[in-house]
Amino acid sequence: MNIRATSIAIVFLIGSNAWAAPPDPMVDPMRGPTPLTESATPPLMPPVENRDVRRMRTYSMQPPTIPHKIDGYQIDKNFNRCLACHARVNTEQTQAVPLSVTHYMDRDSNVLAEVSPRRYFCLQCHVPQTEAKPLVPNNFQDIDVILKRLSAPAPDKK
Amino acid sequence: MVKLIKRYWNIIRRPSVHFSLGFLTVGGFIGGILFWGAFNTAMELTNTEKFCTGCHEMRDNVYAELKGTIHFTNRSGVRALCSDCHVPHNWTDKIARKMQASKEVWGKIFGTIDTREKFVDKRLELAQHEWARFKANDSLECRNCHNYEYMDFTRQSVRAQNMHSTYLADRSKTCIDCHKGIAHTLPHIPPGQTSEATPPARASKEVANAAR
């Protein structure tokens, strides 16, 4: 009886981690320093960039971002507002960028007459951008920058 | 029957015996004003949102869809009522539209779209009627508020500038050609069924539109 009680007490002690240092206060960039029990004041919603200037792709396979507002655009099984301009047949009138051929391919690379169902929902890959400050830092480097650094002669090694 | 008509004709063409000419003219004038006022008031009553959304067909389908759009909720708080877009503001056109709309009373009585499923099935046809109407009157109900003459292109996005300064400026297109589904959700549009009333001269353009 006594042994059992001690063992239970030991298990509890180990389990509760009582001697460990108090954990760091959680820092969530979305919440800021507001404690969990209080609700943070939401920041102002940043405006969506609407300049209609094509942005550079950060890497060659990146889905291009949308350079305009898409408020209230209907994309469902009945209608796709994006295709009203970006579909192949409408690009002459609207001068919008047409979908690339990959959007007409099924997974076996057969080119279909219409947009492939798996590529129909544009916003799965293409998104508009806001003028917001990034919440977390990012040290992504363009491959060109890396290549340039690697191919540059290193004088101090010689 | 002929006898009956003759009898009433005789009553009407006989000079008044009991009432003075003054009473008849002044009374007729006042009565006319009252009738005209009442008639127009009653007609304006059918233009209110409360009247339109009194039926569940409108309230649960098209009105519910309108609520999220720019014509219902926006930064400046100006909003369009059902009648702003769907009833002409000009009196004669309004009367014509109201007479057309008596078909909707028939539809209400016989429950043409009294379930969501029936509405969804019929929606393309109903939408096509509206598109044809907008196309026929050069999007008059849009232009009641959105006047091309007063558009400041510098306040528009680049792509809006491009479209408005070409297709709208040369009148080759009207508002509804590009702005379908701006206030309500669009149904599936089978190829070649964009609008029923397609002027033959613009058939080739419509083919391109229909493929959207």
Burial of A87 (C-beta count, 10 Å sphere; 0-12/13-18/19+): buried
pLDDT band at B202 (very low <50, low <70, confident <90, very high): very low
- Give start and end residues of each alpha helix (H) in B58-201: 63-66, 82-86, 91-100, 102-110, 116-136, 140-143, 158-163, 175-178
Helix, coil or strand: residue A28: strand
Q: Does A70 touch chain B (CB under 8 A)?
A: no
Question: Does residue B113 register a pLDDT over 60?
Answer: yes
Decide if B211 and A89 are in contact by the 8 Å CB cutoff.
yes
Identify the pLDDT of residue B59: 93
Percent of chain B with pLDDT over 90: 74
Q: Does B186 touch chain A (CB under 8 A)?
A: yes
Please compute the mean of the pLDDT values over residues B5-19 and round it to a whole number.
88
The rounded distance, in Å, linking the Cα atoms of A155 and A153 is 6
Identify the pLDDT of residue B167: 93
Q: Give the orientation angle of helix B102-110 with respect to helix B91-100, to 10 degrees.
A: 20
Identify the pLDDT of residue A19: 54
Decide if B211 and A94 are in contact by the 8 Å CB cutoff.
no
Alpha-carbon Rg for chain A, nearest whole angstrom, is 27
Identify the pLDDT of residue A155: 66
What burial letters (b/e) apply to B115-150, b meaning 16+ CB within 10 Å?
eeeebeeebbebbbebbbbbbebebbbbeeeeeeee
Helix (H) or strand (E) segment spanning residue A148: helix A143-151
Identify the pLDDT of residue B22: 92
Percent of chain A with pLDDT over 70: 80
The rounded distance, in Å, linking the Cα atoms of B162 and B168 is 10
Question: Does residue B211 register a pLDDT over 60?
Answer: no
pLDDT band at A70 (very low <50, low <70, confident <90, very high): very high
pLDDT band at B134 (very low <50, low <70, confident <90, very high): very high
User: Residue B201: how many CB atoms within 10 A of its CB?
Assistant: 7
Please compute the mean of the pLDDT values over residues A13-31 and round it to a whole number.
63
User: Looking at this predicted complex, what is its ipTM?
Assistant: 0.74
B132 vs B192, more confident: B132
pLDDT band at B117 (very low <50, low <70, confident <90, very high): very high
Question: Does residue A12 register a pLDDT over 70?
Answer: no
Identify the pLDDT of residue A10: 57
Identify whether the C-beta of residue B63 lies closer than 8 Å to the C-beta of residue B51: no
DSSP code at position B19: S
The 3-state DSSP composition of chain B as helix, strand, coil percent (nearest 5) reads 65, 0, 35
Identify the pLDDT of residue A86: 94
Please compute the mean of the pLDDT values over residues B52-58 and round it to a whole number.
92
If we measure between CA atoms, which residue out of A69, A63, A77, A26 comes closest to residue A49?
A69
Identify the pLDDT of residue B194: 64
Identify the pLDDT of residue B11: 87
Residue of A nearest to B172 (CA): A93
User: Residue A72: how many CB atoms within 10 A of its CB?
Assistant: 13
pLDDT band at B1 (very low <50, low <70, confident <90, very high): confident
| A133 contacts: CB under 8 Å, gap ≥ 6 | none
| B71 contacts: CB under 8 Å, gap ≥ 6 | B79, B80, B85, B182, B183
| A85 contacts: CB under 8 Å, gap ≥ 6 | A91, A94, A96
A29 vs B35, more confident: B35
The rounded distance, in Å, linking the Cα atoms of A154 and A157 is 6
> Mean pLDDT over all residues of chain A?
84
Please compute the mean of the pLDDT values over residues B69-90 and round it to a whole number.
92
Decide if B187 and A90 are in contact by the 8 Å CB cutoff.
no
CB-nearest to A90 from B182, B188, B212 is B212
Identify the pLDDT of residue A45: 87
Q: What is the pLDDT of residues B141-172, one digit of tens each?
A: 999 999 999 999 999 999 999 999 999 999 99
| B43 contacts: CB under 8 Å, gap ≥ 6 | B94, B98
The rounded distance, in Å, linking the Cα atoms of B58 and B38 is 26
Helix, coil or strand: residue A32: strand
Picking from A44, A79, A80 by the largest number of B CB atoms within 10 A of its own CB, the best residue to mutate is A79
Q: Dihedral through CA B208, CA B209, CA B211, CA B212, nearest 10?
A: 130
B window 146-185, beta carbon within 8 A of A: 157-159, 162-163, 167, 178, 181-182, 185
pLDDT band at A34 (very low <50, low <70, confident <90, very high): confident
Please compute the mean of the pLDDT values over residues A99-122 and round it to a whole number.
93
Identify whether the C-beta of residue B70 lies closer than 8 Å to the C-beta of residue B131: no
CB-nearest to A93 from B70, B157, B208 is B208
Question: Does residue B23 register a pLDDT over 50?
Answer: yes
Please compute the mean of the pLDDT values over residues B188-194 and round it to a whole number.
78
pLDDT band at B208 (very low <50, low <70, confident <90, very high): very low
- Residue A50 identity: N
If we measure between CA atoms, which residue out of B187, B188, B193 comes closest to residue B210?
B193
Please compute the mean of the pLDDT values over residues B187-212 and round it to a whole number.
54
Q: Which CATH class is domain A48-133?
A: mainly alpha
- Give start and end residues of each alpha helix (H) in B147-201: 158-163, 175-178
Identify the pLDDT of residue A9: 58
